[in-house]
Structure formats: C-alpha cells, structure tokens
Amino acid sequence: MTAIITSAPGKCILFGEHAVVYGHPAVAVAIDQRISIKIQPSASGMWLLDGGKLNMKRNPHIKGLIEKLWPVDQGAPPLSIHIEGNIPRSSGLGSSAALSVALAAALRGARGRWVTHAETVGQNRWAEGFGSLITASDAYGKSGGFFSTIEQDKMFLLTGEESVDTDENAILAHSVEAAAQNGRASPIDSSTCSHGGVIVISNQVQNDLTYLYKRSLKMPDSERFWHIHELELGIVPDDIYLVIGNTGINAPTGKQVAKVAQMLELTPDRMEEIETIGKIAQRGIDALMVGDYEAVGRAMTENQIMLKSIGVSHPQLDVLIKAAAPTCLGAKLTGAGGGGCMIALTRNPKLTSDAIELAGGRTYISKLGSLGLRVEKLSDQTFWSRS
C-alpha cells in the first residue's frame, strides 16, 4: 500500500530554557535520536494510531495538526499513522515537537500544495499553506491555511518533496505545542526539530548568525516575539559529544512552564534570575561561535545553577549532573526540567556515560547539531487534495 514516511530529530537545549518563553536568548541543537512517522490511507475507514483506534483527546498534537492540514469536513479520508523512534517521551528531548514536525510534513506530502505563478519562488508562490511570510493564514488560530483567490486554472498542484517546507512544519508544530502548553511555548523545540543543526532564538536579531524568520505568539499575559537564527558551528572537534542522561521521571513541559509563570506572578523580582539566564545564554552563544568548548561547558554549568534556583531541577537530575561533573566540560538539565533529562558536554563520552549510568541514569550519546526533518518516502499520488 502507498505510504509516506518522514522523520525528525529530537533536541537538547544547551542554554536558556524557560527564559526563552520570556523572550531571552536560547540555543538548542538537534540530536541523533529521531522519530519517524508513516502514514497511509486507513483501510478500516477509521483513524488509526499504531494499529489501534486513534484517541484524539490523548493525542492533542496529532489532533491539532489534523485540524489544520487534513480537513475531514471537506472529505479528507481517515489515515493510519504509525510512529517509531528512540526519543523518550516527556523527557525534555523534544519528542512532541519532533512528532509534530514529522507529522506536519507527512500530511503536507499526502495532500501536496497548490501553488500559483511558476516564476516566483518559495512561499511567494503558494496558494495554500502556513508560513512566516504568509500573512493571510493564521497558523495559531482556527482559520486554516489561506487559499488565494486566484482562479483554479492558474494554479497547479505541487506534489512530492518540493511541497514540503521546513518553516511550515516548524510553525505548525509551534502552534500545536503552544495549545498543549496552555498558550505558553517558545518556538525553540519546533524550529530545532524542523531545521536541525543549531538554532538560536532571541528577542533581538543576532549579528553573525543566519537569520531564518520571526515568530510571535499571544500569551496569557502579553504578546511575545522571537527571531530565529541558525548558528554554523564550523569544525566541531571530533571528540566533542553530548551525553544525555534520562532520570526516567516524566515531566510534562506545560506543568513546569506554568510553575515558573506562577513564581513570576507572585514574586515579579525573580524576573532578575530569568534575565541572568538570558545573559549566560548570550555568553554560551559567543563561546559556540568561536568554538571555545571549555567556555561552552562553563556556561552550561552556570545555567544549571540558575535553573536550580528558579526551582525547575529535580533531586535525581542533580545526582546525575554531579556524577557527570568530573569527566565533562559542563552539565545541566535540558528542556523543562522537574525530571526528564540532563546533558553533559564531554570529550570523554564513554567515561561520562558510565558515570551517569552508575548514578541511575539511562544514557544516549549524540553529536551536536544533527540533520533536521527528512522526507524518507513519498507516494507519487496525493491521498487527498483540496480543489
């Protein structure tokens, strides 16, 4: 049977989690661990997930993407979705963003994209879709992908890999992440899992980095915006690795983000700690740009002190970080905290990994900045298309 297969990496935040929700700079790298999604038309006439009935309530990211990309009320048929991969869930490694990016790409591949004038390029050519340059669509609202008023005979359906766009996958993944986190989510996970490599997010344009696009989101307290950039690492020494240590403790991101929001509401002075995290992140960015990994490690360790101070670490994270310290350049929790994973930047991945395992963590080893979204297999025909 025809199938579409896509995959996306998980991510580790090197600096700036939580502070990024308030606009401060943060850096994330795509990791070697990935999620792969396979979709096929459902032979049973029902939505299926891994062979069983898809429970939309328990899978809000999938539900949100279906609503935005696969209009059942317009006759889009039910699909069978299959998920595989080695990114542990609710552990700070971006499993929901990777799933959302890969599914958004698969659904787009399954319907193709209507485009207009052949002589224009990229999003300027789209007649439908969601992207940073498309002001007529509201990826964060309920309005659906825009559809240009151009006559049907002046458009054609673009299919295959060309119809898939990393910006669109990232913006859609951000919108469903924001919905799942009660309206508070930065685009760091979604952009990193879509574009891969090293992503820097900040409320200011950072010189010397490759500019990608701007995102904004209305949050419960105010509207936030972020500039998203790519950081080219240059030549990373062969012996530099990230060792990821999983505590095995589930820590839903939304709960941790809400905890920080509540702390700031009750004691607004503590915004100073959030600002300090932003400053440390900026130092980390500077160190990464000149390839000074000792300084990168030091900034990570300082970042952890602040994360602990705002109350998002966990005793088991502290145990794993302490165990890694003697053999690494720097270590900290990664993602929302409260459980989940820590990371250690190290020149001795085996020694660091053994130390973390001995302290009770399950480890994964990754290089810094893996490939982003990949379309692994596309069908020659769309499964459904808007007409």
Neighbour count for residue 141 (Cβ, 10 Å): 10
Give the residue with the Cβ less far from ligand MEV, 330 or 337.
337
Rule CB under 6 A: say whether 343 interacts with ligand MEV. no
Give the residue, chosen from 4, 5, 14, 21, that forms a contact with ligand MEV under the rule CB under 6 A.
Answer: 21
Give the residue, chosen from 20, 39, 172, 378, that forms a contact with ligand MEV under the rule CB under 6 A.
Answer: 20
Closest C-alpha to 36, from 383, 368, 377: 377
Rule CB under 6 A: say whether 253 interacts with ligand MEV. yes
> Binding string to ligand MEV for residues 79 to 118, with x set by CB under 6 A, is what?
-------------x--------------------------
Give the residue, chosen from 128, 168, 189, 302, that forms a contact with ligand MEV under the rule CB under 6 A.
Answer: 189
Q: Which stretch binds ligand MEV (CB under 6 A): 14-22, 46-54, 136-144, 294-302?
A: 14-22
Rule CB under 6 A: say whether 18 interacts with ligand MEV. yes
Q: What is the bridge-based pairing of β-strands 79-85 and 48-49? A: parallel
* Contact call for residues 366 and 244 (beta carbons, < 8 A): yes
With contacts defined by CB under 6 A, how many residues of the chain interact with ligand MEV?
A: 14
Measured CA to CA, the distance from residue 107 to residue 263 in angstroms comes to 39
Rule CB under 6 A: say whether 188 interacts with ligand MEV. yes
Query: What ranges make up the beta strands (E) of the chain?
Result: 4-15, 26-41, 48-49, 52-53, 79-85, 113-115, 128-129, 146-147, 156-158, 198-202, 210-218, 223-230, 241-246, 330-334, 341-346, 362-366, 374-377
Rule CB under 6 A: say whether 273 interacts with ligand MEV. no
Give the residue, chosen from 30, 54, 170, 185, that forms a contact with ligand MEV under the rule CB under 6 A.
Answer: 185
Q: Is the dihedral of CA 151, 152, 154, 157 positive or negative?
A: positive
For binding to ligand MEV (CB under 6 A), which residues are involved? 13, 17-18, 20-21, 92, 185-186, 188-189, 253, 257, 335-336
